[in-house]
C-alpha cells in the first residue's frame, strides 16, 4: 500500500495534467459545433474499425455456414435473372438510361455490429460515404426489410434497425393493398405491429405484409412478414401483429438501396406542404 501511495505521489502532476486535458477537450467538444462534429466522426470511425476487426474474426469462424448461404443466394439470383430475361424491366440498367428510367441503385455491405436487446437498436455497416452510402437509404437482407441508414463516415454507416422504437414503416397487405404504419413495440424481436388497417379490409392469418412504396426510402414490395394475430382497436381499425420475415439474430450481409429520385420527390412534397 505504501509503495502505491509513493508511486501516486511521484506522478500526481502527470495525473493532474491528464485530468485537466480531458476536462478541456470535453468543454471544447460540448461548446463548439465544428469540433463536436469532428469528434463524433472520429469516434464513429474508431468504433467502426474495432467492429470491423471483431466481425472479421467472427466471420472466419463461420465460413462454412456463410458459403452455404452464399450458394443459396446465388441460386436465387440466377432464378431471378432467368425469370426476367425477357421482361420489359431488366435489372442493373445504367443510371443515365432514359428509356428504362432506373429509379433504385443497389450495393452490397456487411454488418459488423448489431444489437437486438435494446429499445433503440442499431447496426453498423462496413461501407460509408466513400462507397456511395448516405443517410435515408433503405437496408434489406435477402429481400426482407432491415432498417434505414442514419449516419455515415468515410468507411462506415450506422443503420436504424426495424427493432427501434423510433422507426415507422409505411406497409400494406399484399393481397388487397390496404396500407398503414408498422413499428416495433420494443418486446419480441420477431414481431412488429401494423396499425390503421380498416375493419372492412379482408385480412386473414398468414397474409403477407410488404412495404407500400409510399415513402422515398423503400421500394414497393419489400418483404416485411406475415399476419400472426389481429384484433379490433378504436372501433374503426385493426391492430395487427406481424411475424417478421427477417431474423435479426442471423444477419450478416445486406443490400443497401438508394432511391435515385429521392431528392426530387422530397423537394416536391415539401413544396406541396408549404402551399397547403
pLDDT digits (tens, 9 = 90+) for 133-179: 999 999 999 999 999 999 999 999 999 999 999 999 999 999 999 99
Distinct helix (H) and strand (E) counts, the chain: 5, 12
Q: With a cut of 60, say whether residue 31 has pLDDT above it.
A: yes
pLDDT > 60? residue 90: no
Q: How many Å apart are CA 180 and CA 170, to the nearest integer?
A: 6
Domain ranges of the chain: 32-61+103-276
Per-residue confidence band for 189, with pLDDT thresholds at 50, 70 and 90: very high
> What local confidence, expressed as pLDDT, does residue 51 receive?
74
Please choose, from the candidates 142, 107, 105, 139, the residue with its C-alpha nearest in 3D space to the C-alpha of residue 124: 139
pLDDT of residue 40: 65
Which helix (H) or strand (E) segment holds residue 195: the answer is strand 191-198
Question: What does the block give as the cell for 213?
Answer: 412504396
The strand pair at 157-164 and 144-152 is best described as antiparallel
pLDDT at 85: 46
Q: What angle do CA 63, 68, 73 make, to 5 degrees?
A: 120
Confidence bin at 102 (pLDDT 50/70/90): low
CATH of the domain spanning 32-61+103-276, picked from 3.40.50.10320, 3.40.50.720, 3.40.50.2000, 2.40.10.340: 2.40.10.340
Mean pLDDT over 231-254 rounds to: 92
pTM of this structure = 0.65
230, three cell numbers:
389481429
Amino acid at each position: 500500500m505504501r509503495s502505491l501511495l509513493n508511486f501516486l505521489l511521484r506522478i500526481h502532476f502527470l495525473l493532474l495534467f491528464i485530468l485537466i486535458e480531458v476536462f478541456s477537450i470535453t468543454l471544447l467538444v460540448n461548446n463548439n459545433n465544428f469540433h463536436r462534429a469532428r469528434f463524433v466522426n472520429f469516434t464513429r470511425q474508431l468504433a467502426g474499425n474495432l467492429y470491423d476487426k471483431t466481425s472479421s474474426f467472427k466471420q472466419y469462424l463461420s465460413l462454412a455456414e456463410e458459403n452455404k448461404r452464399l450458394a443459396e443466394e446465388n441460386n436465387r439470383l440466377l432464378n431471378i435473372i432467368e425469370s426476367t430475361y425477357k421482361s420489359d424491366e431488366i435489372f442493373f440498367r445504367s443510371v443515365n438510361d432514359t428509356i428504362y428510367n432506373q429509379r433504385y441503385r443497389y450495393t452490397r455491405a456487411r454488418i459488423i455490429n448489431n444489437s437486438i436487446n435494446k429499445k433503440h437498436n442499431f447496426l453498423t455497416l462496413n461501407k460509408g460515404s466513400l462507397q456511395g452510402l448516405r443517410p435515408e437509404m433503405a437496408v434489406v437482407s435477402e429481400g426482407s426489410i432491415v432498417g434505414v441508414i442514419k449516419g455515415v463516415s468515410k468507411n462506415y454507416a450506422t443503420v436504424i434497425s426495424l427493432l427501434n422504437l423510433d422507426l415507422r414503416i409505411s406497409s400494406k397487405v399484399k393481397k388487397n393493398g390496404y396500407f398503414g404504419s408498422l413499428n416495433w413495440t420494443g418486446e419480441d424481436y420477431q414481431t412488429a405491429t401494423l396499425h390503421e388497417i380498416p375493419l372492412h379490409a379482408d385480412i386473414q392469418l398468414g397474409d403477407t405484409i410488404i412495404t407500400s412504396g409510399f415513402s422515398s426510402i423503400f421500394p414497393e414490395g419489400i418483404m416485411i412478414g406475415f399476419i400472426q394475430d389481429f384484433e379490433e382497436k378504436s372501433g374503426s381499425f385493426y391492430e395487427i401483429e406481424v411475424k417478421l420475415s427477417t431474423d435479426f439474430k442471423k444477419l450478416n450481409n445486406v443490400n443497401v438501396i438508394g432511391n435515385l429520385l429521392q431528392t426530387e420527390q422530397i423537394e416536391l412534397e415539401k413544396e406541396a406542404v408549404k402551399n397547403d
